[in-house]
Amino acid sequence: MSEADKTVKIRAISEKDVPRNTLTEEQNAALERAKQNAQLDEEKVKPQANTAKIEKLVESLTAEKAKSADFKKQIEALNDKLSDYLELESTVEKLGEKLKLERAKSTGLETKAAELEARIEALPELEEKVKRLTELEAKVVKLAEMEAKVKELSDVLGKISGIAGGKA
């Protein structure tokens, strides 16, 4: 027997086999209210989730503001050190010039020569301080960059907070 010769018997569907809506109008209304209540419950959960997110963002903003304040304190301290560095640098230059003048004036006086030698010996220490202050100056620049990033993040968080405040 070939595939074309096979027949398939299918049962006919009568009207009694088709499911009917046997719910009353009250049951339909109750079912509809239950669906609406379920949707309302879902909608109530969304603001709660958003509120939790907003609270986390506010906490994050507070932490970032604290970090920003710490960075500002560090920058102020580094600016003070930078001022000290600049004063030392000026002092070093003045001492160098003064040393040249003293050497020109000294004409061999031992006491003046000893004073100048003492100043010369202080130069490596001052140069070390200058080197350290140069490193501090690099840190100041880095902190300024970090402060700019913190400000940018604070601005973004402020906008988010404003958006969240408008929706709440």
Domain boundaries, the chain: 36-167
pLDDT higher than 60, residue 101: yes
Amino acid at 157: L
Euclidean distance between CA atoms 44 and 40, whole angstroms = 6
Residue 16: the pLDDT is 59
Average pLDDT over residues 41-50: 78
- The answer on pLDDT for 108 being more than 70 is no
Q: What is the pLDDT of residue 134?
A: 93
Percent residues over pLDDT 90 in the chain: 17
Q: Against a cut of 0.95, is the pTM above it?
A: no
Q: Find the Cα–Cα–Cα–Cα dihedral 129, 131, 136, 139, rounded to 10°.
A: -170
The predicted structure's pLDDT at residue 3: 62
* Per-residue pLDDT, 8: 66
pLDDT-above-70 percentage for the chain: 83
- 112 close to 102: Cβ distance less than 8 angstroms: yes
Question: Distance (Å, rounded) from C-alpha 121 to C-alpha 95?
Answer: 12
Residue where the block lists tokens 């096979």: 6
Which tens digits make up the pLDDT trace of 110-164?
777 778 788 888 888 888 989 999 999 999 999 999 999 999 999 998 998 888 8
Q: What is the mean pLDDT of the chain?
A: 82
pLDDT single digits (tens) 5-22: 677 667 666 655 555 556
